[in-house]
Chain A
């Protein structure tokens, strides 16, 4: 039986248990309702609790089996392969994949050794599947009977039911933690493997990045090839250009919208800015690569400058435009949070609006604005599609925005797209870069969120 069928069976058990429990309790309930003046728990709750007994333990066991069965299969085949002394001659994961995907209808094309392993694989898989069905279904039957006996008219059914629901809600909330843990473990685990091959210091401080050369067997793990400094510098260069565009424009837009614009203009301009925020990044990437980059290149040529066709400037400017609405809405929030008394105090002394804004509002809102800029920086550093499409692959160590640079995210995408073995230093390097990216943005976010929260509390 496959998992879907098992779940269907479980649901049938649960429905059955609900139905009979509900009927039974309802009979009592109808009599009691007339006699007793005090309120009684509705029969449906007894039904719910009974059906939970059938459903939840069996589902949990099923889940555990589903999680362990893949690793179990894998280790079983690996053991088998080793025991039979079979030469696999390639990456283990790929080999296992081959074994699984053998189609039995055209046996003649298949390597007989592989076929033998495939047979073993199938036998073991059938065994697991059978064991799964028997364990889960029998557990469900047992629990159905147990639950039916356990739930009586004296059970505080509603309280039990609500407790279970509350636990389910809590589990949903903890998914956020699980996600973070998953991210940390997945990037950390692979990164550690990478740092086993390439010393961490060479990665962090090396100035040469050329992962492609590492494919050659004599160069695997060559420290010269995995120096990430050019990527860090490239990322910072493009982010700096983006912030240089987005911070002044976003801040000034926010100031104009919140302090000068009529409500009519505001109700028009805000949604338009939101459109800018809602455009997918891949569209910005397309725009940057095909429209802005050639434009900047031509402009540079006409001024006698040599501009790379994938210049950091083009990617940065477009990224900056993309972040404008983000900066603007954050700035709008923090400026609006400055109490009106500040504005009136300054205006009452005869200050003009711009004097009030520059000398009172912005200094008062400064912590919030700084927090917003940090969040924007974190966005710029983590932005992927624009740079993948508009920035280059060449890892030049330069701070000249007219030249082509590459970034951390570009390299992650380049290293991980296409088919390659999962264990190579090249793919592992992508996870090491991912770790750097995650840690950097995490630090920026934590500081920024903290600063912004403290700022809010100050005026609450």
Chain B
């Protein structure tokens, strides 16, 4: 009698997670920009990412969602090797950008980061002028040959980030003097000034108010014409609004990947469903 009671009891989330082996949905796509296979990430002895395989298609916006501490940011930081800056972090598995292994010895992280830009959770403008913030990337990479070209790149980047009209009269004032939302758009402008192929965004709107968030989302919409974007977000609404595909992470495992609409309306996996419906988070 006791036995039957136990079998009838619904599985806990931890049990479902422990049993989960293979990602549900369509993690792969044909024309992949990024293709990653069996990625494990360790911090010292602790494993943070378990066997994640996922493709990101060209000119696609992929949202990574999941409860906090699920490894979505860690996975994102593998894609341009930002994890290299943490001594104890170790990445195994295969990560390819345009069919090239980004963790191979001959791969230059500097070149990789010039191709795969990143926008961070908290706006982090340098303590320099707005102009110098945007010009920083082109300058270090030697992308422009003269001042006129550089001016053009700065103006165009700021325009694309939807910031130019707001700051055109004070380009030489410190970037730290802008509002939070403007700072984040400045950081996006700074990233696209290098003209990367992919932009990684790590919860870009989490520190911003709703109006600034709306502007950032609008910006993502425009950017996806030219760029491949991977965005980590804790807001499901935001994922639904900006992305074509959504990947759901849970405690280091990739549970489900699919068309955004399908994931939010008809999740295939029990955990995804519980998360979407707000049973935990």
| B133 nearest CB neighbor, chain A only | A345
Smallest distance from the beta carbon of A439 to chain B beta carbons, Å? Answer: 34
A343 at the interface (CB under 8 A from B): yes
Asked if A346 and B126 sit within 8 Å, CB to CB, the answer is yes
Asked if A345 and B113 sit within 8 Å, CB to CB, the answer is no
Q: Hey, what's the 0/1 contact readout for A355-376 against B, CB within 8 Å counting as 1?
A: 1000110011000000000000
Asked if B120 and A349 sit within 8 Å, CB to CB, the answer is no
Smallest distance from the beta carbon of B161 to chain A beta carbons, Å? Answer: 14
B194 at the interface (CB under 8 A from A): yes
| Alpha-carbon distance between A348 and B193 when the two chains are bound, in angstroms | 13
A341 at the interface (CB under 8 A from B): yes
Asked if A347 and B126 sit within 8 Å, CB to CB, the answer is no
Q: Hey, what's the 0/1 contact readout for A282-309 against B, CB within 8 Å counting as 1?
A: 0000000000000000000000000000
| Alpha-carbon distance between A364 and B174 when the two chains are bound, in angstroms | 12
Asked if A346 and B136 sit within 8 Å, CB to CB, the answer is yes
Asked if B117 and A348 sit within 8 Å, CB to CB, the answer is yes
| Alpha-carbon distance between A177 and B115 when the two chains are bound, in angstroms | 60
Smallest distance from the beta carbon of B124 to chain A beta carbons, Å? Answer: 4
Asked if B124 and A355 sit within 8 Å, CB to CB, the answer is no
A243-273: which have CB < 8 Å to B? 262-263
**Residue from the list A348, A360, A363 in contact with B80, Cβ < 8 A:** A348
B69 at the interface (CB under 8 A from A): no
Known contacts A263-B87, A342-B126, A360-B126; is-contact A348 B140 (Cβ 8 Å): no
| Alpha-carbon distance between A50 and B80 when the two chains are bound, in angstroms | 74
Asked if B120 and A350 sit within 8 Å, CB to CB, the answer is no
Asked if A349 and B82 sit within 8 Å, CB to CB, the answer is no
| A360 nearest CB neighbor, chain B only | B126
Smallest distance from the beta carbon of B277 to chain A beta carbons, Å? Answer: 34
Known contacts A263-B87, A339-B124, A364-B126; is-contact A348 B113 (Cβ 8 Å): yes
A352 at the interface (CB under 8 A from B): yes
Smallest distance from the beta carbon of A90 to chain B beta carbons, Å? Answer: 67
Q: In the complex, which range does the number of interface residues on chain A fall in? A: 20 to 34
Residues of A within 8 A of B113 (CB): 347-351
Asked if B110 and A351 sit within 8 Å, CB to CB, the answer is yes
B93-116: which have CB < 8 Å to A? 110-115
Smallest distance from the beta carbon of A339 to chain B beta carbons, Å? Answer: 7
Residues of B within 8 A of A262 (CB): 87
| Alpha-carbon distance between A364 and B127 when the two chains are bound, in angstroms | 6
Residues of A within 8 A of B120 (CB): 341, 344-345, 348
B141 at the interface (CB under 8 A from A): yes
Known contacts A350-B114, A359-B140; is-contact A341 B124 (Cβ 8 Å): yes
B57 at the interface (CB under 8 A from A): no
Asked if A345 and B85 sit within 8 Å, CB to CB, the answer is no
Known contacts A341-B120, A345-B120, A359-B136; is-contact A350 B141 (Cβ 8 Å): yes
Q: In the complex, which range does the number of interface residues on chain B fall in? A: 20 to 34
Asked if A349 and B128 sit within 8 Å, CB to CB, the answer is no
B137 at the interface (CB under 8 A from A): yes
| Alpha-carbon distance between A349 and B143 when the two chains are bound, in angstroms | 13
Smallest distance from the beta carbon of B188 to chain A beta carbons, Å? Answer: 12
Smallest distance from the beta carbon of B78 to chain A beta carbons, Å? Answer: 13
Residues of A within 8 A of B59 (CB): none
Q: Hey, what's the 0/1 contact readout for B170-210 against A, CB within 8 Å counting as 1?
A: 00000000000000000100110010000000000000000
| B88 nearest CB neighbor, chain A only | A263
Smallest distance from the beta carbon of B117 to chain A beta carbons, Å? Answer: 7
| Alpha-carbon distance between A101 and B234 when the two chains are bound, in angstroms | 87
**Residue from the list B85, B87, B137, B194 in contact with A344, Cβ < 8 A:** B85
Residues of B within 8 A of A346 (CB): 126, 136
Known contacts A263-B87, A359-B136; is-contact A349 B124 (Cβ 8 Å): no
**Residue from the list A341, A343, A349 in contact with B122, Cβ < 8 A:** A341
| Alpha-carbon distance between A262 and B87 when the two chains are bound, in angstroms | 8
Smallest distance from the beta carbon of A13 to chain B beta carbons, Å? Answer: 65
Smallest distance from the beta carbon of B76 to chain A beta carbons, Å? Answer: 11
| Alpha-carbon distance between A339 and B117 when the two chains are bound, in angstroms | 20
| Alpha-carbon distance between A18 and B80 when the two chains are bound, in angstroms | 75
| A262 nearest CB neighbor, chain B only | B87
Residues of B within 8 A of A348 (CB): 80, 82, 113, 117-120, 191
| Alpha-carbon distance between A346 and B137 when the two chains are bound, in angstroms | 8
A309-364: which have CB < 8 Å to B? 339, 341-352, 355, 359-360, 363-364
Asked if B126 and A345 sit within 8 Å, CB to CB, the answer is yes
Q: What 17 new A-B contacts, CB under 8 Å, besides A347-B85, A350-B137, A364-B127?
A: A342-B124, A342-B127, A344-B82, A347-B113, A348-B82, A348-B117, A348-B119, A350-B110, A350-B115, A351-B136, A351-B137, A352-B110, A352-B140, A359-B140, A363-B127, A363-B128, A364-B126
- Provide a sorted-by-A list of 25 A–B residue pairs whose CB atoms are within 8 angstroms: A342-B124, A342-B126, A343-B85, A344-B85, A344-B120, A345-B120, A345-B124, A346-B126, A346-B136, A347-B82, A349-B114, A349-B117, A349-B137, A349-B140, A349-B191, A349-B194, A350-B110, A350-B115, A350-B141, A351-B140, A355-B140, A360-B126, A363-B126, A363-B127, A363-B128
Q: Which residues of A contact B (CB under 8 A)?
A: 262-263, 339, 341-352, 355, 359-360, 363-364
Q: Which residues of B contact A (CB under 8 A)?
A: 80, 82, 85, 87, 110-115, 117-120, 122, 124-128, 136-137, 140-141, 187, 190-191, 194
Interface pairs A-B: 7 shortest CB-CB:
A350-B114, A341-B124, A348-B118, A350-B113, A345-B124, A349-B137, A364-B127
